[in-house]
Amino acid sequence: MIADLEELVSCESFSSDLEAVARSAKVVADLGARHLGVQPEFIVIDGVTHLRWTFGTPRVLLLGHHDTVWPIGSLLTHPWSVRDGVARGPGVFDMKAGLVQTFHALAGLGSLDGVSVLITGDEEVGSPTSAGLIQEAARGALAAFVMEASADGGALKTARKGTSLYTLQVYGKAAHAGLEPENGANAGVELAHQILAVATLGSGDTTVTPTVLSGGTTLNTVPAEAAVGVDVRAGSVAEQRRVDAAMRALRPAVPGTRLEVRGGPNRPPLEEAMSAGLYALAQELADGLGLAPLTSAAVGGASDGNFTAGAGCPTLDGLGAVGGGAHADHEHVIVSELPHRTALLRALVEAVRHGSAG
């Protein structure tokens, strides 16, 4: 498993570099073929390479991604290593270890009938080309197991907030800032009003966060345009809809300006009701395997498991690596946990195929 993990980590796969993603897909495909006995279907959508294995009529979906947030060249500053039982390298935790676990778990089955594996190439940028593939695969499955890395301490992810992404664009009117500022309509001032308004839309565990700002052209010109990105995390579809309606109801405060709201809900929430049965099954199986008792976590970050749950498929997330530091300099995987999580996944797949889905 360590050798396989080194092979995947050593092939960099920055989401925005489509050639790198294509190279990574070939490496993942060859590794999968060695374990599963067959090459996957290569699906290229808008230049992004996804992989799909299908065995018989799928009843269980194993879902992962091979792209990472790490720019090409990160291996120079964050080289692959295994020291004191800890593996490090770009993408090792999020989520190349999860792919290794997937292949080894399935390789230990007597038959792959009823299994589908979908490994996408654009999860880290919101799954714009793979969302439809994921939803299609989920609609026919009894369960989806998402091989994203675990939460703190190895906890499975039984709930994830849904995400909505917006750009709030302000249009004003340019004028000379020294000679006749009164003849302009200041998009920057209007943006300030809107940022304050947007920041009040959060409620309870729903967060609404203004993020990327832009505007203006020169220091001596009243800005004619300005914009802010808005990140929304909500635990229910109802909350996503409430915030969406509030965003679209925003009105300008500065005369002569107008607003345009682009974007909307990106991923639906993974609510606990969609994972409860599978989590109970996982607890039972872990006990039977002699593993430590499982724990669970609800997290704010989204994954492709949000799509499977939104499609009505029972979903259990965070079955991948135990470690930490996703997207950060200290990204790492606890090597000794790899076979334990692999055994749990194999048992889950078998249980679902024999009628024990949650």
d(CA 108, CA 209): 45
**Which of these, 154, 148, 176, 194, lies nearest to 305 by C-alpha position?**
148
* Token representation of residue 45: 């959508």
Among 123, 225, 271, 304, the active-site one is 123
**299 close to 275: Cβ distance less than 8 angstroms:** no
Strands 258-267 and 332-334: unpaired
User: Catalytic: 329?
Assistant: no
Omega before 95 cis (within 30°)?
Answer: yes
User: Catalytic: 180?
Assistant: no
**96 close to 90: Cβ distance less than 8 angstroms:** no
Element (H, E) at 243: helix 237-248
The dihedral region occupied by 216, where left means phi > 0, alpha psi between -120 and 50, and beta the remainder, is left
**Which of these, 191, 187, 196, lies nearest to 217 by C-alpha position?**
187
Contacts of 354 (CB under 8 A, 6+ apart): none
* Token representation of residue 286: 């872990």
In single-letter form, the type of residue at position 357 comes to A
Contacts of 344 (CB under 8 A, 6+ apart): 282, 285, 286, 289, 291, 319
In single-letter form, the type of residue at position 38 comes to V
d(CA 150, CA 157): 7
Among 12, 67, 317, 331, the active-site one is 67
d(CA 27, CA 8): 7
d(CA 306, CA 315): 8
Active-site residue list: 67, 123
